[in-house]
């Protein structure tokens, strides 16, 4: 972060700071314990940086005055800073260490903390890092720095006593990790005994367990063939494979290891990091070879750019470059500050743009009957995730970009959004290719006609409730992460339950267990399931019987009711029955108090209110609501901040369906702050046609960027 962007912490309130801390704890758990991150590295880093800025300003350390003051207010506060604990360099950048060890593994206390790394994002920030080194060490010249790729895997520490591997442990929370010794012994690139002479009596070697892209592709193919879990990316696959309570599973996984440093040691390996790296190789470890030693920041920048440009062709995922002061005696002088060593930093890569081939163009049917063209791609790694599909939005988008089957296209993935095709690589178009035509009929069983509306910006199935594709999509939406978030109930499972006739509405999910084995063979007897899988699914569904009311409302998939509108409705009416009563009364008369109450909801235009009333006027929808009321006990939100509270939104480009002033007003009404420029604290960028510098900056920082259509959907105006 440059000095120009480091001041936003002055506007961060205590409530926002505490919210960010809670969010960070959750994402730490998802990343380190469950190997299932929900946000991108850039999004995590932004949250962590905002926390640190606030703590630096307010002096939050240990049993801080802020914590004591908060306790006096009656609030439940953690007393320790989330950025000052000792931690080691992570494959997930920043200080993502704070997750306790998984239950089931023996806990191991690290003899030396596994520190975290600070980050730089630009050549200017690299210059600042070097200048700080010179100032601290009182040097006139730039100290020699070692540069090497930052491998995206799972960090572990290996303890050798008298040359033999005695223990392997994951990072855990930076101080206490998980004992994975039995698992680590199955990795061929982790030596059981050290080679050569002059071996230290005690040596802890630290490095990264990872999986190559080729091995990852083969593993996922095998997993899919067996009906097992498909991993999102090589890092998740490596972490999940190493942290198996049954080490025989680990033995079957293609795991590898790079050594990048050390912890406790009875005798120094060398005087410089470069020589120490060579010593690790002689001891039997695999180390990175494409490295650089230089005291020229220009050479360091050129090295960074070269590896960034080549990362798509590298057989392992890397997300940046690590710079370390080469002279080891200076490490002790430099020490650490706020849990980060002064002698090292990570220089991150910008958001990745990849190129792939369109193998086919299919149609995805949404819960409201909207038909979306989807590009089926030759699998490619984009931003750390292997993707094989990309949305093409609508018929007019395909026509405007002239996207065809067989085309080479450039695509980009920011955060956890579905990859989008940026453009066709026209010079690589195959001879004889033909323009793609939108189908005239829905792919559903009844082959309903397709209606094209809004000059090609919307296509929909005319089949209504007779379209099974819509029925499945409604249940998928209800169980999705932003709705009820039912763990383990993905599209594949819902498809199977639907094909067996066990579910037709979201309410059917909550009677699955009591009906198990009555209308079909028991779930545990289905191919690819088993007793444990069936029990886990039933438990996951039962765990959602007291969900947040706003998630239920959003999950019902009412037209024009997005996350924001669902939250506002839940805040105003505290139950489904109360909301139903208001909608029914408002639908009978637009002169009623209930109609005006709906219009009083922030952002509710007449068309939104009419859509809501129309949904509740449908007999099938009323039956669904009545069924859910008998099965669930939704919890209404307490009065307070809106769904965008604490987030900073930046608008860029031209908005076609609302003015910039209206967009800003809507964002502010929902608790968001509207920024004029993209910075490290920007949470969301809404980009319309003509978006330029701000959109590029957002992509470089990995900040979530959406178009106007997605913005309207978020507001419930789509």
Do residues 327 and 404 lie in contact, with contact meaning Cβ atoms separated by under 8 Å?
no
In sequence order, the 6+-apart residues with CB closer than 8 A to the CB of 618 are none
Determine the Cα–Cα distance for residues 655 and 636; give it in Å rounded to an integer.
34
Return the C-alpha torsion angle 387, 393, 396, 397, nearest 10. Answer: -40
Residue 47: φ, ψ to 5°: -60, -45
DSSP output for 691-704: --HHHHHHHHHT-E
Terminal CA-CA length for the chain: 36
Residue 555: φ, ψ to 5°: -65, -25
Determine the Cα–Cα distance for residues 687 and 706; give it in Å rounded to an integer.
6
Q: Which residue has the tokens 């069924």?
A: 627
- Catalytic annotation present for 150: yes
Q: Which residues pair with 264 in a beta bridge?
A: none
Do residues 703 and 678 lie in contact, with contact meaning Cβ atoms separated by under 8 Å?
yes
Return the C-alpha torsion angle 270, 274, 275, 276, nearest 10. Answer: 50
Per annotation, catalytic residue among 52, 93, 95, 150: 150
> ∠ CA 71-77-79 to the nearest 5 degrees?
90
Decide the pairing of beta strands 344-348 and 118-120.
parallel
Q: Which residue has the tokens 């959750």?
A: 26
DSSP output for 390-456: EE--SHHHHHHHT--TT-EEEEE--TTSPPEEEEE-GGGPPTT-------SB-SSTT-PBEEEEGGG
For the four alpha carbons of 319, 23, 485 and 685, in that order, the dihedral sign comes to negative
Do residues 438 and 382 lie in contact, with contact meaning Cβ atoms separated by under 8 Å?
no
Residue 81: φ, ψ to 5°: -60, 145
Residue 673: φ, ψ to 5°: -100, 140
In 10 A of CB 386, how many CB atoms? 19
Buried b vs exposed e over 36-71: b needs ≥16 C-beta within 10 Å? ebebbbbbbbbbbbbbbbbbbebebbeebebbeebe
Catalytic positions are 150
């Amino acid at each position: 972060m440059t000095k120009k962007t480091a001041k936003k912490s002055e506007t961060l309130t205590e409530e926002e700071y505490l919210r960010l801390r809670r969010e960070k704890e959750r994402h730490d758990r998802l990343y380190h314990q469950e190997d299932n991150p929900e946000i991108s590295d850039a999004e995590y880093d932004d949250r962590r940086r905002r926390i640190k800025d606030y703590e630096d300003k307010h002096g939050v350390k240990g049993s801080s005055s802020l914590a004591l003051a908060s306790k006096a207010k009656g609030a439940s506060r953690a007393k320790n800073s989330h950025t000052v604990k000792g931690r080691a360099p992570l494959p997930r950048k920043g200080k993502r260490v704070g997750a306790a060890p998984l239950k089931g593994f023996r806990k191991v206390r690290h003899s030396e903390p596994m520190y975290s790394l600070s980050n730089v994002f630009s050549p200017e920030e690299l210059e600042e890092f070097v200048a700080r080194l010179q100032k601290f060490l009182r040097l006139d010249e730039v100290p020699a720095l070692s540069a090497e790729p930052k491998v995206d895997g799972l960090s572990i520490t290996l303890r050798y006593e008298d040359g033999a591997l005695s223990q392997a442990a994951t990072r855990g929370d930076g101080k206490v990790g998980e004992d994975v010794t039995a698992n680590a012994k199955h990795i061929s690139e982790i030596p059981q005994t050290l080679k050569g002479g002059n071996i230290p009596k005690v040596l802890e070697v630290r490095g990264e367990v990872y999986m190559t892209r080729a091995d990852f592709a083969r593993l996922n193919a095998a997993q899919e063939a067996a009906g097992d879990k498909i991993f999102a990316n090589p890092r998740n696959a490596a972490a999940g494979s190493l942290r198996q309570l049954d080490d025989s599973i680990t033995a079957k996984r293609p795991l590898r290891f790079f050594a990048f440093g050390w912890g406790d040691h009875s005798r120094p390996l060398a005087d410089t990091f470069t020589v120490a790296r060579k010593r690790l190789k002689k001891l039997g470890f695999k180390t990175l070879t494409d490295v650089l030693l230089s005291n020229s920041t220009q050479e360091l920048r050129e090295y960074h750019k070269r590896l960034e440009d080549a990362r798509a062709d590298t057989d392992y995922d890397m997300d940046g470059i690590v710079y370390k002061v080469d002279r080891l005696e200076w490490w002790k002088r430099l020490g650490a500050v706020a849990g980060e060593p002064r002698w090292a930093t990570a220089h991150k890569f910008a958001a990745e743009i990849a190129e792939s081939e369109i193998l086919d163009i299919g149609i995805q049917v949404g819960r409201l009957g909207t038909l979306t063209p989807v590009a089926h791609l030759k699998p490619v790694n984009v931003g750390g995730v292997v993707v094989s599909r990309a949305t093409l939005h609508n018929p007019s988008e395909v026509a405007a970009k002239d996207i065809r089957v067989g085309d080479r296209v450039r695509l980009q993935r920011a955060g956890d959004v579905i990859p989008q095709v940026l453009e066709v690589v026209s010079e690589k178009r195959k001879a004889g290719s033909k323009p793609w035509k939108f189908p005239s009929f829905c792919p559903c069983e009844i082959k309903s006609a397709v209606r094209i509306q809004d000059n090609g910006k919307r296509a929909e199935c005319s089949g209504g409730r007779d379209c099974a594709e819509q029925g499945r999509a409604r249940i998928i939406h209800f169980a999705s992460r932003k709705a009820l978030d039912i763990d383990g109930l993905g599209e594949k499972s819902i498809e199977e339950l639907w094909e067996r006739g066990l579910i037709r509405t979201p309410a059917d999910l909550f009677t699955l267990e009591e009906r198990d084995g009555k209308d079909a063979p028991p779930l545990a007897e289905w191919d690819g399931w088993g007793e444990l899988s069936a029990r886990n699914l039933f438990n996951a569904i039962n765990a959602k019987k007291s969900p947040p009311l706003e998630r239920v409302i959003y999950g019902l998939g009412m037209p024009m009711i997005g996350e924001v509108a669902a939250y506002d409705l839940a805040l105003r009416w505290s139950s489904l029955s109360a909301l139903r009563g208001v909608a029914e009364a408002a639908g009978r008369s637009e002169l009623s108090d209930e109609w005006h109450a709906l219009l009083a909801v922030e952002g509710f235009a007449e068309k939104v209110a009419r859509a809501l009333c129309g949904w509740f006027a449908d007999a099938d929808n009323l039956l669904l609501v009545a069924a859910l009321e008998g099965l669930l006990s939704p919890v209404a939100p307490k009065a307070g901040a809106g769904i965008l509270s604490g987030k900073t939104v930046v608008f860029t480009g031209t908005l076609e369906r609302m003015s910039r002033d209206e967009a800003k007003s809507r964002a502010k009404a929902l608790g968001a702050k509207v920024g004029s420029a993209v910075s490290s604290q920007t949470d969301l960028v809404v980009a319309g046609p003509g978006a330029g510098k701000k959109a590029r900056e957002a992509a470089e920082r990995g900040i979530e960027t959406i178009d106007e259509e997605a913005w309207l959907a978020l507001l419930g105006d789509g």
